[in-house]
Structure 1
Amino acid sequence: MRDLRPDLATLWQSASRLRSARGARSVMFVAARSGEGTSSMAASFALMAAEHSARTAWLVDLDLGVNAAFGGFDTGFAGGVARPGRAYDASLGCEPIYQLVPTPMGGGGKMLTVHPVEGTRLLVTRFRTERLAAGQSVCLRAQPDWWQALRRSTDWIIMDAPALDRSDVALDVAAEADGVVLVVEAERTDAEEVARLQAGIEDQGGRVIGVVLNRMRADAHLAGRLGGQQYRRQYEGGRR
Structure 2
Amino acid sequence: MRDLRDQIDGVWHAASRLSSGSGGCCVMFIAAREGEGTSSVAASFALLAARKAQKSAWLLDLDLRRNAAFAAFEDGFARGVGRPGRAYDASLRTEPIYTVSSPVKGQSGADVANKLLSVHEIDRTRLLVSRFRNELLGHGQRVRLKSQPEWWSRVRQAADWVVIDAPAVTRSSAGLSFVSEADGVFIVVRADSTGPQEVAALRDEIAASGGRVAGLVLNRMGSDARFADRLAG
Whether the TM-score (by the shorter chain) exceeds 0.5 is yes
Q: Which residue of 2 aligns with 1:237?
A: none
Please identify, of 36-45 and 11-20, the stretch whose mean Cα deviation from structure 2 is larger: 11-20
Q: How far apart are the structure 2 equivalents of 1:102 and 1:153? A: 30
Output the aligned Cα RMSD.
Answer: 1.7
User: d(CA) in 2 for partners of 1:23 and 1:109?
Assistant: 24
Query: Is the 1:27–1:159 contact (alpha carbons within 8 Å) kept by the matching residues of 2?
Result: yes
Aligned 1:1-240 pairs, distance under 5 A = 1-104=1-104, 106=111, 108-217=113-222, 229-230=230-231
Indicate if the aligned counterparts of 2:104 and 2:137 stay in contact, CA closer than 8 A. Answer: no
Q: Deviations over 1:132-189 (max 9, x none)?
A: 1011221211111000011111100000000000100111000000000001112221
Q: How many residues align?
A: 223
* Local SS of the residue matching 1:87: strand
Shift of 1:216: 1.8
Q: Which string of whole-angstrom CA distances, capped at 9 and with x for unpartnered residues, describes residues 18-39 of structure 1? A: 1111211010000010111111
The structural deviation recorded for 1:124 is: 0.5
Shift >6 Å, 4+ stretches? none
SS at match of 1:109: helix
TM-score by length of 2: 0.91
CA contact (8 A) 1:29 1:161 kept: yes
Residues 114 and 123 in structure 1, CA contact (< 8 A), matched pair in contact too: yes
1:51 counterpart SS class:
helix
State the one-letter code of the partner of 2:140.
Answer: G
CA contact (8 A) 1:64 1:139 kept: no
Distance 1:84 1:107 in 2: 22
CA displacement 1:84-136 (0-9 Å, x = unmatched): 10211100011111111245573622010010111111100100011110112
TM-score normalized with structure 1 length:
0.89
